[in-house]
Amino acid sequence: MALLYTSEAMDRLAGRGRLRVAVVGVTGAVGRKLLEVLEERSFPVADLVPLASDRPGLRTVHWAGREIEVLAAEPSRFEGVDIAFFGAGGDVSRALVPEAARAGALVIDKSSAFRLDPRVPLVVPEVNPADMDEVPLSVIASPNCSTTQLVVAVAPLHARAGLRRLVADTYQSVSGAGLAGIEDLEQGTRAILAGREPPPPTTVTRPIAFNCVPQIGEFDEDGFTDEETKLIRETRRILHLPLLAITCTAVRVPVHHAHSEALTMEFEDPLSPDEARAILSASPGVVVLDDPSRGLFPTPIDAAGRDEVFVGRIRRDPASRNGLHLWCVSDNLRKGAATNAVQIAEHAARG
């Protein structure tokens, strides 16, 4: 396991030019979006190795004008690979990330398998790129989608005024549960509109069509779900605030793409809404849409298909002397998953 953390894969990438790139999980929602983003951003791929964790048979993916065979994800596939993106879930990552690292690849893992490992940097390039530069590593973790958009919006304000307390309520689209989540919503919607009983959902505990479900993941003994705990722990780690007072309620909503978040922040120093708007308007990866009098504020439709984090409804918290509220929205499959992973690879390749 030492190879997982001590190889010089990142150092080897600098100046390499075009790269051999593996994508694990190409048959899922995140894997498909990774292929799309790699092509859109003209990432320097010399040879693409699409991998699936199930038995792929003769399936192919269309990428960069070519049909490429999807191969079974197994250790031998990583020989000669420069960068391996993992988007197939924690079990697959735990089994195959060490194998990819042992073969010499830089691994960028979208699962939760290594996010809290203190030896593995957890990175959002707009927020903490220096965390991947301190030592040459083989594995870099990409955060949960809801965490990613949150820290992009909050970090610039924290740098100015010192974040002391954070309450995050998330309204997460069904694509956060993958292709099966989208199917749950579509099947349920069709059934209800036809006057039929919707089929039992596979990704939530209650019907999602025309409904909101305040459970994403399993509950712990304190009543928090896996999703809520991930956001709390990952936010503390990325912002380097291990004692941050933070809590979360995560809700699955009947939206195809893009997560929304209502954030309540308390700062050490005063920060006016106008100052916050100016700071965020100048921050990388952020778009401010904030004029409620004209109906201008972000919604999932605005963010779907985009890579930015959209922020609006910035206002004072009347219950806190140095408190602010804001609303932020981002495409969970793009910035929340695929785009963030590709941005990490771009940073690594630049050296």
The catalytic residues are 145, 259
Nearest residue to 326 via CA among 275, 250, 255: 275
What is the rounded distance in angstroms from the CA atom of residue 74 to the CA atom of residue 311? 41
Q: Are strands 71-72 and 139-141 parallel, antiparallel or unpaired?
A: unpaired
45, 38 Cβ separation under 8 angstroms = yes
Determine what percent of the chain falls in helix, strand and coil, rounding each to the nearest 5.
Answer: 35, 25, 40
Residue 278: what residue type? A
What is the rounded distance in angstroms from the CA atom of residue 147 to the CA atom of residue 318? 26
314, 297 Cβ separation under 8 angstroms = no
Query: Helix, strand, or coil here: 61?
Result: strand
As given in the structure block, the two tokens for residue 324 are: 């602010």
210: alpha, beta or left? (left if phi > 0; alpha if psi -120 to 50)? left
Which H helix or E strand runs over 186? helix 179-193
